[in-house]
Chain A
Amino acid sequence: MKIQTLAALMLAAASISSVNAQAPAASDKAAMRQASPDQVISSVAEQLLARIKQDREALDKDPQRLYAMVDEVVLPYFDFPLMSRLVLGPAWDKAGDAQQKRFMDGFKTLLVKTYGNALLQYSNEKVSFSEAEPGSKPDRASVASTIQSPGADPVTMHYRMRQKDGRWLVYDVVVDNISLVTNYRGTYASEIKRAGLESLIDKLEKQAAG
């Protein structure tokens, strides 16, 4: 029991540090400042694929390890506060600070799990990246990536990014023209309309824990 609590705490600490703390070393930080949106996406993808290749069995067996890996490699490049705000829409402004934080934590855990499990599905796929397309404003861009698996139509993903303090961060992932932010937003809006924000947060926390 104690070991499990400790593990959970360490995981929590790791996730907090990966979101709040900036990149580990000053030189890395400087390098990431220079990185263009497509460089960010392809370097994260390369790291992920390398980690999965090297550690596949352990990651398959131990979901916590998988989630910690996603937390470490992927999360620093996601703009979670912005995603949470976009997903909640008008409900974000009406929510109190504590509610906002609880929502963000639940949503983040859920996304890490979803992303991690989706990642394990892939094995022999060919992934290619294209150059970043400029967005509607200078601090926005979108990077397309195409996943080709045998027997399936190619799936195109768009990573929508914005530049924050010099670094490019992802705020939406569009899979096959389905924006995940819009999708979560629609789903959560119906729940808020039906039973309120508190009920949505409860459900998220339950799902995140389960």
Chain B
Amino acid sequence: MRAIQGACIALVVVLAGCAHRPAHDPADPLESVNRGIYAFNMTADKYVMRPVAQGYRWAVPGFARTGIKNLFQNLGYPVTIINQYMQGKLADGTADLGRFLINSTLGIAGLVDVAGYWGLPAHDEDFGQTFGRWGVGEGWYLMLPFLGPSTNRDLVGMVLDGPLNPTYHSENSTTIWGLSVLNAIQTRAQYLNADSLLMQQIDPYAFMRNAYLQRRWSAIHDGKPPREAEPEFEAYDDF
């Protein structure tokens, strides 16, 4: 495991040479492979993930789904805390640490977002965003089997995020699998409302690619991306 992580860091150093590219002009040299995987993912989604997620939304009442969502958000929160610090955001990191401690205890292992009611909002940071903050470009766009869109940079980030999730260290493989499956279902259920938007596109693959890259670019800048990232668009924005 350590060797893999070492290799990842080395890869990041190599990737640091890649510049950021605007979402409307992505680097996608593996497009034909990616499109194949995308088609596979969409088929798996149509026959398995989507119906299961719809069933979940139908069968589980809203308050319980909110609790389950909170639980997984809390389990993933060490990733956010560490990456806040790695990005030099000390105040945010400490607020997030407080949030994690409050929700893990008073919030019954994260089921209830007590800290949220007290005015400590949830953040979302990960290694991919930290590398982006450090100036590492996204590299190539990737479509991963089952996991969906990513980039070279975010894939490396994901491998480093994994061990920070407490679930990862469970000895019980039934627990790990059970939680992973439940998390996949509840995450998919959150995106059900977006399906019709994707399905109405003339090229859903390109639409998803663009949405993913825009969202990541915005996340790296905590929701306030610099607009000069798209000089061409700016020229046309001058109406």
**Interface residues in chain A, defined as those with a beta carbon under 8 Å from any beta carbon in chain B:** 82, 85-86, 89-90, 110, 113-114, 117-118, 121-122, 124, 149-153, 162, 176-179, 182-183, 185-187, 189-191, 200, 203-204, 207
Contacts and interface: CB of A to CB of B under 8 A. Distances in A.
Say whether chain A's binding surface is mostly helix, strand, loop, or mixed.
helix
Contacts of A113: 200
B236 interface: yes
Contacts of A121: 192-193, 196
Task: Indicate the member of A113, A149, A183 with the most B CB atoms within 10 Å.
Answer: A183
Contact of A187 (B57, B60, B210): B210
Interface stretch (B78-86, B130-138, B168-176, B214-222): B214-222
Interface of B: 23-26, 57, 60-66, 68-69, 122, 186, 189-190, 192-193, 196-197, 200-203, 206-207, 209-211, 214-215, 218-219, 223, 225, 230, 232-233, 236-237, 239
B161 to A, nearest CB: 18
B90 to A, nearest CB: 24
A197 B61 CA distance: 47
Task: Indicate the member of A85, A189, A190, A203 with the most B CB atoms within 10 Å.
Answer: A190
B236 A150 contact: no
A27 B236 CA distance: 35
Contacts of B214: 177-179, 182-183
B65 A150 contact: yes
Nearest to B186: A151
Given A182-B233, A187-B206, A207-B200, A152 B218 contact: no
Nearest to A203: B202
Nearest to B67: A151
Contact of A185 (B69, B122, B233): B233
